[in-house]
Amino acid sequence: MIQFRTSKRLLVFGLLILPTFGIAQNFTLIKPNVPELNAELKKTNYSQDVTYLYLNRNYKVESEKLDIKKYDYPDFNICAFKQKFEHGIIYSEEQCREAGGITTKLILPKTDKESLIQWVELIFKSSPMDIEHGWNSDKTKFGPTDDGAGCYFEIKEVENKTEVEMYCGC
């Protein structure tokens, strides 16, 4: 009789408690290597987006560039695209406007906010500028403290995923 109760308790524990631990786990981004990213950006004369460079160095690409848009004038280079990476990460980039800067969006699995805050700061540090940046009070927006030209990051929690929207320009 005692063995049956113990088995029953273990079964209840296993069915009710253990799945909670699996569900509660949040995705954590690989910590950016600031010196390596900075060196690579210098080599390319800052022609690549630091986030895209980071993803290619740290995660397996799972698709070709999708939803490609090209400039209408002579060189017809790509000005917008989307690409999928392992773990369900989706990166999109758009810089098709003549003087519009670059807008990027990162869709991630539900991500630990503290590690994401650190990630934003390290990505920003990888491509430094002489403009003071900081967080808003609830640490969902990071950008120039004077609200002028620079890079803006916004963290959004959406159902079972986390989005980071970024804009760099004037």
Location of structure tokens 């500028």:
129
Q: How far is CA 20 from the centre of its chain?
A: 26
pTM: 0.81
- Per-domain residue ranges for the chain? 26-169
Per DSSP, the residues of 107-157 read EEESB-HHHHHHHHHHHHHHS--SS-EEE-TTSSEEEETTSSSEEEEEEEE
Residue 48, SS3 per DSSP:
coil
What's the pLDDT score for residue 107? Answer: 97
Residue 68, SS3 per DSSP:
strand
DSSP 25: -
Residues in the chain: 170
pLDDT, one tens digit per residue, over 66-109 is: 999 998 877 778 999 999 999 999 999 999 887 778 999 999 99
Location of structure tokens 């900075």:
38
